[in-house]
Amino acid sequence: MSNKIVRIGGASGFWGDSMVGAPQLVNSGLIDYLVFDYLAETTMAILAAARARKPEMGYATDFVDVAMKTVLPEVMRRGIKVVANAGGINPKACAAALRALAESQGLQPRIAVVEGDDVSSLMSQLRSLKSKDMFTGDPLPENVLSASAYLGALPVARALDAGADIVITGRCVDSATTLGPLIHEFGWSPVDYDRLAGGSLAGHIIECGCQATGGLHTDWQDVPDWPHIGYPIVDCIEDGSFVVSKPPGTGGVVLRAAVAEQLVYEIGDPGAYMLPDVCCDFRNVVIEQIGPEQVRVSGARGRVPSPSYKVSATSMVGYRCAGSMVIVGIDAAAKARRTGEAIITRTRELLQKAGHKDFSSARVELLGAEALYGPYSRAETAREVMVRVVVDHPSSAALEIFSREIAPSGTSWAPGTTSPGGGRPSASPLTKPFAFLLGKSALTLSFTMDGHKQTVSVPLIQGDSTDHETTVPVAWLDTDEPQIEVPLIRLAWARSGDKGNISNIGVIARRAEWLPLIWSRVTPEVVHGYFAHLVKGRVERFHLPGISAINYLLHEALDGGGPSSTRMDPLGKGMGQMLLDLPVWVPKSLADSL
């Protein structure tokens, strides 16, 4: 094994991330590659709507107008390569805009555009074959705004092999922007599964920006200097292991616990994290604190990848409007609830008189009354509450009636009603995501650079990527010692997120010897009962012995998830925090030591 180290900085975790990441990493002098991740499933819906309005749009404009405008001259001077999935559903337009920017700065970077992810032209054929949504089993809709396959890292690697300075992709898995450079630099083959899994994990750790450097950390009080938080850097070696760090002098913190939280973030089954290039097994990954701002990650394993790509698509299903008012004073929550229900009742009657259909959905939620906690709310006597009313309808004209009827509540009903201002809410297009699997042989992948198009061959290797043995912790044995209830947060860290309509909650024991206790107390049945007011499907759990963690999957937990959901937390970001409040019985001696 060589001593070569490839240093990659993650400058963006989503479209809308801070503008400080790219210049911070570039000016550190510590990176060979600058990578950006922009494309959440919700973002694809936004980009599809943008392209529908203007054909030249459909890409993450911040990549060109903010990030690269700031750092491109220094990137070129230092010889840093750039990889970004900023192309969205229009990567050619993104490349054209970047090329125009470069010319205005007197620069001539070699820009490669990866293509082949757009499968919109195949939708008619797929409907005729009766393809179905991989989660709901529903047939594919007729009205499709976008349909993009999650590509892997090979096209990125091949573009870099050809001499690209900047690689722009459309839809690819988030980690591919990191794995592509590692395949290129180390010459990994398509069957180097353990190395590919390690490189994918490196990409997974940095794909959400500051979430690897203290952002969203359970022990947030211990994370210094939020305004100047450092963006992550991974120093990667040939065997697939890597060290996580950040630029010196920046805020945030690089901790084993924070990196572990990011490992479990949205991975589903940790023994079968499916990616186009490899099926990853993260269960025995080891995370070690090797310095004050350095964490070493090793032990990822890989197997043959799936023969299919996951396709993320969006369809237009109508319009949505959300309005809100603030209620102050005694019984604020009760007044707010009645206000929201009155708005819906009145507007339903007005819709009927105007000849419109009823709302396709309507929801009242109270911010400040802990509505998401359901029966576990401790804010029944809250004296400041915002009532949020969300309605969907096939017609935007119908929602204009609803929009006009929000403000009248300020003089008609509950005392203490006010508003922070902002005018009437407006209707916006409502898109619904859906997903299905598509055989890799159905797509032709390529990249274009300097006007020349080159096809990228993706190997189709046969094998079962999903079959793996499951493990459980050693059994916890209770004694006659008295038991005391403590909140789970005293025993564990947690991080949560979404996969469509599934909430993913990762729980990491603060001490390895506590994991059997957590496993015995926080069962799928307990978790399902705790979230019964939100979760309509089953709860699964998986064991990660390497970091003493458990990953929970809560099915049908997010009211459809993403842009479909009417909830305040459509992506399940708060569900980990809610679970950390779960009371857990522990021996008195353990409770006394906390």
Same domain for 210 and 250, yes or no, is yes
Q: What is the pLDDT of residue 131?
A: 85
Is residue 219 domain-resident?
A: yes
- For the cut 90, the answer to whether the pLDDT of residue 186 exceeds it is yes
- Whether 371 maps to a domain, the answer reads yes
Range of the domain at 337: 318-432
Q: Is residue 12 part of a domain?
A: yes
Confidence of residue 432 (pLDDT cuts 50, 70, 90): confident
Instruction: Report which secondary-structure segment, H or E, holds 12.
Output: strand 6-12
Q: Characterise 316 by phi-psi region: left (phi > 0), alpha (psi -120 to 50), beta (else).
A: beta
Q: For residue 2, what pLDDT band results from cuts at 50, 70 and 90?
A: confident
pLDDT-derived band at 501, boundaries 50, 70, 90: very high
User: Are 277 and 333 part of one and the same domain?
Assistant: no
Give the per-residue pLDDT at 464.
67
- Decide if 327 is inside a domain: yes
Domain end marker among 305, 334, 352: 305
Q: Are residues 239 and 280 in the same domain?
A: yes
pLDDT at 421 over 80: no
Q: Where are the beta strands (DSSP E) in 329-427?
A: 361-367, 384-393, 417-418
Residue 354 and residue 260 share a domain: no
pLDDT tens for each residue of 107-144: 999 999 999 999 988 998 988 888 888 888 888 888 88
Of 432, 463, 493, which closes a domain?
432
Return the CATH number at 422: 3.30.70
The answer to the question of residue 48 being in a domain is yes
What does the pLDDT average to over 432-442?
A: 91
The pLDDT assigned to 466 comes to 67
Clarify whether residues 301 and 322 are in a common domain: no
* Residue 46 resides in a domain: yes
pLDDT band for 523, please (50, 70, 90 cuts): very high
pLDDT tens digits, one per residue of 341-397 = 999 999 999 999 999 999 999 999 999 999 999 999 999 899 999 999 999 999 999
Is the domain of 292 the same as that of 399? no
DSSP codes, 343-361: HHHHHHHHHHHTTPPPPSE
Report CA-CA distances (Å) from 263 to 108, 258, 393, 491, 588. Answer: 38, 9, 39, 18, 32
**Is the residue at 407 inside a domain?**
yes
- pLDDT value at residue 446: 97
Residue 425 lies inside a defined structural domain of this protein: yes
Q: Look-up: residue for tokens 């400058």?
A: 11
In tens, the pLDDT along 266-304 reads 999 999 999 999 999 999 999 999 999 999 999 999 999
Share the mean pLDDT of the chain: 95
* pLDDT tens, residue by residue, 528-540: 999 999 999 999 9
Which one, of 232, 273, 288, 262, lies nearest residue 576 by Cα?
Answer: 262
> What band does 465 get if pLDDT is binned at 50, 70 and 90?
low
pLDDT at 348: 97
Q: Is the pLDDT of residue 213 over 70?
A: yes
Q: Which residue has the higher pLDDT, 91 or 471?
A: 91
Q: What is the DSSP string of 282-323?
A: -TT-EEEEEETTEEEEE--EEEPPPSEEEEEEEEEEEEEEEE
Do 200 and 339 share a structural domain?
no
Considering the entire predicted model, what is its pTM? Answer: 0.95
User: Given this model, what pLDDT does residue 25 score?
Assistant: 98
